[in-house]
Chains A and B, each alone.
Chain A
């Protein structure tokens, strides 16, 4: 079993819809959870960072962590064509310097 599982998609949604992405993980020692957005031929950009169970909002983005179920989610409200990208979840056990990445989920927002 991989440390982090993320369904690679792709996921196509109409503009304005809610995008829902998720990752599951097996390592209960993971404490920090991140979502990155990566446009084609660019480096990943940190979108959200959280370290506790619950929800964290930042504009149209909401990150959700459920440590008991080892499950994290990212929601994008009012999706825009500019949100079309690959979204990678990542997580770490603080101090070991390494991020475990999901495979990435390609999202296409159709105007």
Chain B
């Protein structure tokens, strides 16, 4: 149980284009999903917290107009990187909390590697 998937697993795009990354909880419902980015050999950096049916809460320094988050259902959240630039190249990972569990455990997806050329 507690499986989170991400699609795509890797993507290459040209500078100036937009990229959408999907995060799905496959066997549980998640009211809250989280988006992280991770640079090589560094820990996870929380970008935003996404609650189903409401606007995402962004961490300080994260541009909400650049990183659009939509959490339209209890099993799907999307992150769109708009007008991507090479400095946006990173490993993006989502996680989700199980609605049924009254705990803070987060289950992570496999990550999406974004390369902007």
Contacts and interface: CB of A to CB of B under 8 A. Distances in A.
Interface string A76-106: 0000000000001010101001110111101
A46 interface: yes
A41 B111 contact: yes
Given A41-B113, A49-B103, A88 B108 contact: no
B32 A44 contact: no
Most chain B beta-carbon neighbours within 10 Å: one of A44, A97, A106: A44
B93 interface: yes
Contacts of A90: 106
A44 B44 contact: yes
A46 to B, nearest CB: 6
A88 B44 contact: yes
**Size class of the contact patch on chain A:** 20 to 34
Contact of A44 (B2, B103, B104, B108): B108
B110 interface: yes
B105 A43 contact: no
Contact of B91 (A36, A41, A98): A41
A104 B93 CA distance: 16
B105 A49 contact: yes
A23 to B, nearest CB: 11
Given A44-B44, A44-B93, A104-B43, A99 B106 contact: yes
Nearest to A104: B43
Closest CB pairs A-B (n = 9): A43-B108, A92-B104, A43-B111, A43-B110, A44-B108, A32-B104, A103-B43, A101-B43, A43-B93
Interface of A: 32, 34, 36, 41-46, 49, 51, 88, 90, 92, 94, 97-99, 101-104, 106
